[in-house]
Structure 1
């Protein structure tokens, strides 16, 4: 589960961007007992969050930053910044702009890890992995390295023999140091790489156009599960089953419906409504959150879903006992209220019209918004909360 995620200098984001999924303390937690998961590490972590913003405000860039970080773990090729992803202002003003990504998470081995990497167009500038067992305990640095002026990597902290060997033989020609350590069997590096590759799903909607047969087989196994159909039925309760096409599950699968008279109707998914087709795919990711404890970021999942269905999905995820997380972006504030969400679960992204840079912040930053005042829509439309194209 993600505890916090910070990054800077990615696309429209220039200053440091911070995103937290730790539940608040005090009376608020008692009001929303289903909205967070209690962990044995002392962290109580939010199950869901929503990111609101105008068109072209930076919502997709936020999720794409996570997707880019994850991509660095996918291969062992050289890591370096891509100009297309560097903030335009930084690219003009800085001689060698750097991008920083920092993520703290609770891994599958119940250890808290913080991983940070800073990269530029030359490659990795610095990299760090630290761990702790409890929320308030000091971190133990597994390794921390920095590139010097001679293009050599210097050990700042960490004494593991594998790390020394990696540094000695590294010429920055291939991937992340943490990935190299994982290949050498370092258990903390293995846990980090495994979580990044197999637990984090940033903005990935399943489809028939997959380039990995293993991923498609995993999707099909989920769709075959009877619990998946219960999720999918949220889009239309006349649906009573599905008949899976294993070659093209997201287009050729048959959706089975039953009317009030008990008559059965079947329709190919590709011929069904846009909302049904898209939710069929997103239901796979919701399944992963609830039954496989994955962390899913859905970019504008609700563009074809009405507020009632969005509320139904969030209520379902919050109401289940799991260690997954679901974060989605939206333009729609009509369904946002402080009866369903904690203030800490609602984030806004707004873009400065002069600098064209995006900013992310939480509703919790606005003390004037009280739980007794649930009309978030009115605050938003007046421009008080930002995130609107006409602020």
Structure 2
């Protein structure tokens, strides 16, 4: 489960942005018993969160920052930042040495074993600058170091395009043999993968758990086009497994309660599968998914991810999930996730201001993204940052539309 995520110097975000999924420690959370998960580690973690803001404000950049961090764990090749993903205000020159190209990413999460992990990564256009992973057994427990790597120096090899980098390493809680092998990577030429990934390959238990969480539990869906068409093209075998599960129908019926079954087409499940409905007369009729409404097709695709949250404890980040889903259905989706006992989380960006509702959300579950008109930098902040907004207030939508809460376009 994700506790918090911070990042800095990514696309339109210049200063550090913090996204927190901790339930408030006061009596407010007692009004929303289904909205959070009580963990054995001592944290109360929110199940859902919504990010609202204007077009081009930075919502997608926030989601993409998670996607980029996740991509760094995919292989053991060289890890560095890319100029196109660095805040433009930090790039006064074409020369990397004259720019602030260092990006920072920080994740605080709870693994399946209950261990609490804290991961910090800093990279620039050359290589890793600093990387650190620690863990604790409980919220109040002592933090223990797994790996700490800090870049000491870089040397460009004469006549070659590669750079030799040396690191100061600390792996005090690792197995002796693992420490011996990983220390050989303290000086490297060319490709320099993440040190935590190397530890996982070598079998370190904690590194394995953290890397597995990033690779398999954390899912980021940031698509700038129809999600149904994307899933239709993608056609993953794991999706087929889910839509064949009997529990999938329970989720699908939220879009239309006349649906009573699905005939799955193994070759083209998101196109040729048949949606079976029961008419008032009691008769059934079936229609292929590609012949059904666009909304049904879109929800069919997103229902797969809702399944992963509720039944597989996945953490899903979704960009504009409800762009073609009506507000009532969007609320049903959130209510469904909150109403089930699980350890998954669903975070989504949206333009739907009807989510500005303190009857369904705590203030800590509503985030805004807004862009500063002076320097065009984005900011991310929670409704909880506005103490003047009280739960009895019914004018949150009005405050937002007037620009009082930010997140609206400026002239």
Q: Provide the residue aligned with 2:199 in structure 1.
A: 181
Structure 1 residues 376-385 or 200-209, which shifts more?
A: 200-209
Counterpart check, 1:132 vs 2:136: yes
Residue 264 of structure 1 pairs with residue 278 of structure 2: no
- Alpha-carbon displacement from aligned partner over 1:294-340 (angstroms, at most 9, x marks no partner): 00011101111111111111111101000000111111112421110
**Superposed CA offset, 1:114-166 (max 9, x none):** 11111111111110000011112231111111111243101256353324422
| Distance of 2:400 and 2:219 partners within structure 1 | 29
Measure how far apart 1:195 and its partner are.
0.3
Which residue of structure 2 lines up, in the alignment, with residue 3 of structure 1? 3
- The 8 Å contact of residues 224 and 244 in structure 1, kept in 2 or not, is answered as yes
Which whole-Å CA distance do the structure 2 matches of 1:312 and 1:96 have between them?
A: 44
Q: Give the whole-Å Cα distance in 2 for the aligned partners of 1:62 and 1:271.
A: 35
Within-5 A mapping of 1:345-384: 345-384=365-404
Work out the CA distance in 2 between the residues paired with 1:77 and 1:253: 40
- Name the CA distance, whole Å, in 2 between partners of 1:98 and 1:164: 29
Measure the CA separation in 1 of the matches of 2:276 and 2:179: 55
Which residue does 2:340 correspond to in 1? 320
Report SS of the residue matched to 1:74: coil
Give the 3-state SS of the residue equivalent to 1:73 in structure 2.
coil
Q: Distance in 1 between matches of 2:309 and 2:15?
A: 30
Q: Which residue of 2 aligns with 1:220?
A: 240
Q: Paired residue for 1:41?
A: 41
- 1:343 correspondence with 2:357: no
Q: How does 1:113-152 map to 2 (within 5 A)?
A: 113-150=117-154, 151-152=165-166
1:208 to 222, 232, 235: 232
Name the residue aligned to 2:211. Answer: 193
Q: Which runs of 4+ in 1 moved over 4 A?
A: none
Greater CA deviation, 304-313 or 198-207? 198-207
Task: Output aligned runs, 1:94-105, within 5 Å.
Answer: 95-105=99-109
Deviation at 1:96, TM superposition (A): 4.4
| 1:265-344 superposed matches below 5 A | 265-344=285-364
Structure 2: distance between partners of 1:361 and 1:157: 35
* Match in the other structure for 1:230: 250
Give, in angstroms, the shift of residue 353 of structure 1: 1.6
Question: Are positions 1:155 and 2:173 aligned together?
Answer: no
**Gapped regions of structure 2 (runs ≥ 5):** 155-164
User: Mapping of 1:17-32 within 5 angstroms?
Assistant: 17-32=17-32
Q: 1:208·1:250 contact (CA, 8 Å) conserved in 2?
A: yes
Q: For structure 1, which runs of at least 5 residues remain unmatched after alignment?
A: none
How has the CA–CA distance of structure 1 residues 168 and 96 changed in structure 2, closer, same or farther, with 3 Å as cutoff?
Answer: farther
How far is the alpha carbon of 1:87 from its aligned partner? 1.0
Q: Helix, strand or coil: the match of 2:316?
A: strand
Secondary structure, counterpart of 1:208 in structure 2: helix
CA RMSD of aligned residues (A): 1.6
Give the distance between the partners of 1:119 and 1:50, measured in 2 at CA. 29
Contact 2:373 2:410 in 1 (8 A): no
Secondary structure of the residue aligned to 2:232 is: coil
State which drifts further: 171-180 or 97-106: 171-180
CA distance in 1 between partners of 2:341 and 2:285 (Å): 34
* 74-83 or 285-294, larger mean C-alpha shift: 74-83
Q: How does 1:17-96 map to 2 (within 5 A)?
A: 17-92=17-92, 95-96=99-100
Q: Matched residues in 1 for 2:365 and 2:355: separation?
A: 13
TM-score (norm 1): 0.95
Q: Deviations over 1:80-113 (max 9, x none)?
A: 1111111111122752410111101101111100
Deviation at 1:269, TM superposition (A): 1.2
> Which residue matches 2:183?
167
User: 12-21 vs 147-156, which deviates more?
Assistant: 147-156
2:37 touches 2:45 (CA, 8 Å); kept in 1?
A: yes
Deviations 1:260-312 (A, max 9, x none): 11222222212222211111011000000000000001110111111111111
Q: Distance in 2 between matches of 1:335 and 1:11?
A: 26
Higher mean alpha-carbon deviation, 251-260 vs 283-292, is at: 251-260
Q: C-alpha distance in 1, partners of 2:172/2:409?
A: 47
Retained in 1: the 8 A contact 2:153–2:167? Answer: no
TM-score normalised per structure 2: 0.91
- CA positional deviation for 1:202: 1.3
| Number of residue pairs matched by the alignment | 387
